Amino acid sequence: MPSDFEQLTWDDRIKDDCRALVKLAWQEDLADDGDWTTNALVPESSRGAAEIVSRESGFVCGVRAIETALATLDIELDFSPQLQDGDPCRSGTTIGLLAGSARHLLSCERILLNLMGRLSGIATLANQYVSRVEGTNARIYDTRKTTPGWRRLEKYATRCGGACNHRTGLFDAVMIKDNHLAHYQAERRSKAGEPQTAQAVESVRAFLAANAPDTTLPIEIEVDTIEQLAAVLPAAPDIILLDNMSVTQLREAVQLRDAASLAIQLEASGGVTLDTLREIAETGVDRISVGALTHSARSLDIGLDWQTAEVGA
């Protein structure tokens, strides 16, 4: 298998992103004045406990985020997870228990639920896509169509749902897209319609050899016609993205690659839905990238159920 993108796991980089988002969320909710409702009704010494409960079936993601959030806010709450990131859950399942300062619990409720609901919704949708391609050679990849500031967290969530990570940013892979090719061709005053795909790949490869500290960066190029694909195959990029091609074109592309006996991965992208996914996977492509995993995921319905007595008391 050729070079692939980094597959994210929970690490210090994701923790840093989570800390920044939690601090922003806290400021959004409490500003400089605090929680008037809670402060008016709940004595400072009061203790409380609650269960984080899934209101619908799905896949859990956000347990690690809650742990990081509580440490970041430095508030008096203990979290006892009952499930881990990537675990399936049914409606009514308790994901974790929170206990400690009643004021702190009430004031951070929405921050914690927003984190877990958003990430669990992405993991759940990702798993739906992954399940649809079972039995084929295709793997589901996410994209950079993420919420600003949430990228690593959202990509971590797609992994928890069983999908794979496409490049994290512009820094960790080469992705030659249509606008790169348009400019590349214009700079060289190429004849209209003359494919410049192979030349672009060779230019990138030479640049990386001379300038990049990591010359193993994956090289991917986007094509939208069979003619472009045929032109770029001899340059042997790691991955070729087949943009918005029909199922018939995808089959032709796979046959063309296989006939050349090249270990190039083919990635289908553009307009992929749960309804069209299986047919696309059965064409023989190796990868299917889906922006909807992150830009169209609905938050999983997760709530906080208050306990009449502190859990464990």
266 beta partners: 240
User: Residue 222 catalytic?
Assistant: yes
| Euclidean distance between CA atoms 235 and 237, whole angstroms | 6
For the annotated binding site, the residues are 110, 143-145, 167, 177, 222, 243, 269-271, 290-292
Location of structure tokens 């208050």: 306
28, 78, 172, 177: which one is catalytic?
Answer: 177
| Euclidean distance between CA atoms 20 and 171, whole angstroms | 21
| Euclidean distance between CA atoms 52 and 56, whole angstroms | 12
User: Residue 191 catalytic?
Assistant: no
In this structure, how many other beta carbons lie within 10 angstroms of the beta carbon of residue 87? 16
222, 238, 286, 310: which one is catalytic?
Answer: 222
Residue whose C-alpha is closest to residue 59's, from 109, 9, 122, 104: 122
For the annotated binding site for substrate, the residues are 110, 143-145, 167, 177, 222, 243, 269-271, 290-292
Residue whose C-alpha is closest to residue 88's, from 113, 60, 55: 60
Q: At what angle do helices 63-73 and 102-132 cross, to 10 degrees?
A: 150
User: Residue 145 catalytic?
Assistant: yes
User: Residue 15 catalytic?
Assistant: no
19, 47, 55, 110: which one is catalytic?
Answer: 110
51, 142, 243, 310: which one is catalytic?
Answer: 243
Residue whose C-alpha is closest to residue 278's, from 123, 124, 126, 129: 129
In this structure, how many other beta carbons lie within 10 angstroms of the beta carbon of residue 2? 15
| Euclidean distance between CA atoms 195 and 258, whole angstroms | 21
Location of structure tokens 């006939």: 259
* CB-based burial label for 179 (10 Å; 0-12, 13-18, 19+): exposed
Farthest CA pair distance, the chain? 78
Residues assigned a catalytic role: 110, 145, 177, 222, 243
